């Protein structure tokens, strides 16, 4: 590879002297280009291409699924299809296409969005991942129901998760796919402080749901490990990099954490950031605990439905959670009031 790059650099230098030549190098970052190709009059222009959105990912996947007849509803929702498949590599997508072709042939009907989600949830392998006890299945259902319910209630009903499942997979026992609108909003960089808090609350909601339903001494010891890691990373980023407050009750709160960490942090900065992040997590855990206790009947109803059906789509979740009590207080409203007063 090194000799090829050196030869290419020499050819580029000689060719450019005689006639115009266009050489395109596709990389994720300009730092990935070999130094010998960055000499004068070689690669002179950098063109940054935008990230593919969900709708494009969906249309590409539909095109990859040759000979698969899709439902009219699915063809009209490329963004929702893209949100499901974009996390998967090309090999997985081709496996999805093969599974969908087999399903269409066996059942004699068009493939729907639910079928694509089933591929995402359960995979396409016929390998037996092992039986799960009823007790464990109930724990997972309670955990995932907590994520889904708080995702809806803590967003003031704006965001209903795309789907929720307790299908066993190698890396997780369940999954909640956030609302497509929320994913797209985040990708466009439109997150507010309220959105960050909402994400944090959803991360903590699985552990909180187990706390409420199973009891504090019966929470799964390792089941929420990845949730706690994600919540810790987000809390540290909010406190150390973004200069956001632990809470937004008044002007003093808003002005209390404006110094962010720049470069490599020193020990006292790490300790200070950790203390603030720990306070933020504690504050939000108690908030979610109160929210789930106020809606315990919905939490149990959602968990029971999950044990029966394994996968609940957005319409199912909206039907079940429609009567929930919203989160007490809206962080966004508090911030808007402070800005208006200023």
pLDDT digit string, tens, across residues 89-131: 877 888 888 888 888 888 889 998 888 887 776 665 544 445 5
195 φ, ψ to 5°?
-65, -40
pTM (2 d.p.): 0.70
**Predicted pLDDT at 32:** 67
Closest CA to 40 of 2, 18, 19, 9: 9
Contact yes or no for 179/151 (Cβ under 8 A): yes
**Predicted pLDDT at 273:** 93
Q: CB neighbours of 256 closer than 8 A, spacing ≥ 6?
A: 245, 246
As a whole number of angstroms, the distance between CA 136 and CA 146 comes to 15
pLDDT per residue, tens digit, the chain (342 aa), is 677 777 777 776 666 555 666 667 777 666 667 666 666 555 666 677 777 888 888 999 999 887 888 999 889 988 888 888 887 887 788 888 888 888 888 888 999 888 888 777 666 554 444 556 888 889 999 999 999 999 998 886 678 888 888 865 545 677 888 887 777 777 777 888 888 899 999 999 999 999 999 999 988 877 677 889 999 999 999 999 999 998 877 888 889 888 888 888 889 989 999 999 999 999 999 999 999 999 999 999 999 999 988 888 888 888 888 755 555 444 333 333 332 333
**Predicted pLDDT at 42:** 58
Question: Three-state DSSP class for 133?
Answer: coil
Q: CB neighbours of 36 closer than 8 A, spacing ≥ 6?
A: 5, 6, 9
**Predicted pLDDT at 208:** 95
**Predicted pLDDT at 215:** 93
Q: What's the token pair of residue 151?
A: 């995702």
**Predicted pLDDT at 166:** 85
As a whole number of angstroms, the distance between CA 182 and CA 155 comes to 10
As a whole number of angstroms, the distance between CA 163 and CA 175 comes to 8
pLDDT in tens, 179-214: 877 777 777 778 888 888 999 999 999 999 999 999
């Amino acid at each position: 590879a090194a000799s090829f790059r050196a030869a290419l650099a020499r050819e580029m230098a000689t060719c450019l002297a005689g006639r115009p030549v266009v050489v395109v190098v596709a990389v994720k970052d300009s730092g990935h280009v070999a130094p010998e190709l960055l000499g004068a009059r070689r690669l002179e222009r950098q063109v940054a291409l935008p990230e593919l959105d969900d709708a494009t990912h969906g249309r590409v996947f539909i095109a990859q699924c040759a000979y698969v007849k899709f439902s009219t509803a699915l063809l009209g929702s490329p963004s929702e299809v893209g949100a499901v498949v974009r996390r998967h590599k090309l090999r997985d997508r081709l496996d999805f296409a093969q599974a969908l072709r087999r399903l269409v042939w066996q059942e004699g009907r068009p493939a729907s969005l639910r079928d694509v989600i089933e591929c995402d949830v359960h995979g396409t392998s016929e390998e037996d991942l092992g039986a799960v006890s009823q007790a464990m299945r109930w724990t997972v259902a309670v955990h995932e129901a907590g994520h889904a319910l708080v995702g809806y209630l803590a967003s003031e009903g704006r965001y209903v998760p795309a789907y929720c499942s307790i299908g066993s997979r190698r890396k997780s026992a369940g999954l909640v796919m956030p609302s497509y609108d929320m994913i797209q909003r985040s990708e466009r960089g439109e997150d507010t402080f309220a959105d960050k808090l909402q994400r944090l609350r959803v991360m903590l909601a699985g552990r909180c749901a187990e706390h409420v339903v199973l009891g504090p001494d019966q929470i799964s010891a390792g089941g929420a490990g990845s949730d706690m890691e994600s919540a810790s990373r987000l809390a540290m980023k909010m406190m150390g990099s973004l200069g956001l407050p632990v809470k937004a009750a008044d002007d003093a709160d808003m002005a209390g954490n404006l110094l962010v960490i720049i470069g490599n942090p020193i020990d006292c900065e790490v300790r200070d950031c950790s203390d603030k992040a720990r306070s933020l997590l504690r504050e939000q855990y108690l908030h979610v605990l109160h929210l789930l206790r106020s809606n315990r009947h919905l939490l149990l109803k959602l968990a029971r439905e999950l044990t029966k059906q394994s996968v609940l789509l957005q319409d199912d979740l909206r039907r079940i959670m429609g009567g929930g009590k919203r989160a007490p207080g809206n962080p966004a409203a508090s911030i808007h009031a402070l800005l208006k007063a200023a």
